[in-house]
Structure 1
Amino acid sequence: MPRPNCEDYRQLFVNDTPLMDMRAPIEFTQGAFPTSLNNPLMSDDERKAVGTCYKEHGQEAAIALGHQLVNGEEKARRVAQWKAFCETNPTGYLYCFRGGLRSHITQQWLKEAGIDYPMIVGGYKALRRFLIDTIDQVAQQPMTLIGGNTGSGKTIMVNQLANGIDLEGAANHRGSSFGRYVTAQRTQIDFENALAVEMLKKQASGCRQFVLEDEGRAIGSASVPLPINAAMQTAKIAIVDDPLDVRLERLLEDYVVRMQRDFVALHGEDHGWQMFADYLEKGMYGIRKRLGLQRYEELLTAQQLAVQAQQNNGSLAGHDAWLRPLLEEYYDPMYTYQLSKKSDRIVFRGDFNEVKAWLVEHTG
């Protein structure tokens, strides 16, 4: 595949182009792109020292300090890392914050090592601006929401639709008190970047109207971008009306089976089971005030007994004792109330397959 023009930001993201981020680690941690890898020109401390020097003594002195701080064996080690990236990713690009001095120095050192590697015009700032503009533009396109009580499979359906946009997937959080995954939630910037890249890919495949899950303003610690959230307040809604037992099966798979498996896979048998139990208990603790103290204690005890039985003999049956009342007494009444304020926007109701078929016909 030929390289896209370095100013064609859309193609960079649609093609999952490898990107080498030359910014300091603290900058990368605050926000980066899905296909980027941090191979910084300077460490956090070095960047801080050079920045101070620049403010006090100007660019020439700052450049001299930078060369003084990164030289000899340390310079050779960093250049070797860059070379390895370039050789592994021959179709990639490098960037710094604005496509300025750090990018040019990196290119110069790579050329001295025998590699000519292109940089992104405008750097991280220009790429980030392009993704923010993408979100703004998508918010102006037609969208339909999938609604329904907890466990209705809304996220599953979004991912099965060619024009579905998975907000929770981009946030790496399922939105509820039990919504975290074993891996950390994305930062706000990373969430927005991942969301915008997903939108770009859908547009490139021909989508001109999108289907999203009916979400609140927040998904875990992340906030749905304001333009998307505003558009969602007036969007049409298709409601999934699946039976309680069907929804319980999905929650059992999501909250219990999958999370236990993932915790053990990541942390080992003993520690994984403990972290799984802690995850469930923290989820329950997060809604204790709405449940009331007595009911919270009752459901927490049922939950703990269920985890013990699951660990001892592999039985999942005990989880019904806390999952079922959680739906009937907490989640269902809450969503029914929220939906009552959106009743004028409901355009279709049915079970999972009926709603999916309707969305394919009317939004595909």
Structure 2
Amino acid sequence: MTRIPHETSGEPNPLNALTLDSLRRRTSMKWRTYPEDVLPLWVAEMDVPLAEPVVRALTEALEAGDTGYPVGTAYAEALAAFAEKRWGWGGLAVERTAVVPDVMLGVVEMLKLVTGPGDPVVVNPPVYPPFYDFVRHMDREVVEAPLGADGRLDPGVLEDAFRQAVAGGRRAAHLLCSPHNPTGTVHTAEELSAVAALAERYGVRVVADEIHAPLVVGEADFVPYLSVPGGERGLSLMSASKAWNLAGLKAALAVAGPAAADDLARMPEEVGHGPSHLGVLAHTVALRDGTAWLDALLTGLDANRRLLTDLLAEHLPAIRYRPGDATYLAWLDCRALGLGDDPARVFLEHGRVALNSGLPFGTGGAGHARLNLAASPEVLEEAVRRMTAAVERTGRD
């Protein structure tokens, strides 16, 4: 596959478009969970206006009263065209897709297709906390295969986890986060091929959460799991949600590899009732007409990665930060600061800046915090200033 990298679009950086005062008027989780004196850089919402084509499509739908039930394959067709153009992948077959309410609910439905109650699901911590919550809620056992010290998949650790998972003849799945949240790691074709080979050897079914796929900001190439040799039996969940800030407009796509089409066909018909018609419209338009906006965002996020690196080096050099090649999330190793297992709590209490605690991310999360980079440079500068002040205050206590 040959990737078409993002280019300078000529559009303004959407991360610079909104003032802090205007953002504080938002009523979503990011802005209403904490008091007004707290600077929120935690949950995965971006401080951006919507892409203009999305706004136009939603406005026209509302003006026309087009607020009924979703139908058709336009979303899947838009994703297939995007995948071919951006990732050089022409293997996304519209007939092997299904619309689901969102990625995590889609993950649940895919895991139900390939595992049963009590069966193991392998995850790679530190990883997105709902991987634990949703898997356990559906009465599956979580088996950890931690990332290596370099933040990458460890084939030996993964093989041990697969062996443990299928012991006694149990069915098992691997819930793969690709690109990885919170580290921003973009798995290579070689790494994903190794996962597929191990999955085939041990009879483990791979379900890939690829929600951050459009958000590659570094030099790495995103490789769809279903595109690698051996990925034919895999199932993937994709969405425009993260890349275009559409979390409140519910819609995602389940995508099956050629050898998993029969599994996807067994998904209950009522699952497709969950997505919002306006969500499907917004996601379709984003993928089809919102790529110039996305390119401007990626340029801004890349600048923010470099800015955060410089700010931490100057003000908090004890924090270890390895910029990931994807997502708008920064995984901060704060252990050298001596703030205990939950540095995010210290930054909140003493600096009035909200980050995600590393503890819910599983093994490897203690002493870490996750910071949301999708903000203006001024907000990032203020956040690091507050974090620095928090460290200084705790040092004096």
Task: State TM-score, norm by structure 1.
Answer: 0.28
Looking at CA atoms only, which structure, 1 or 2, has the larger radius of gyration? 1
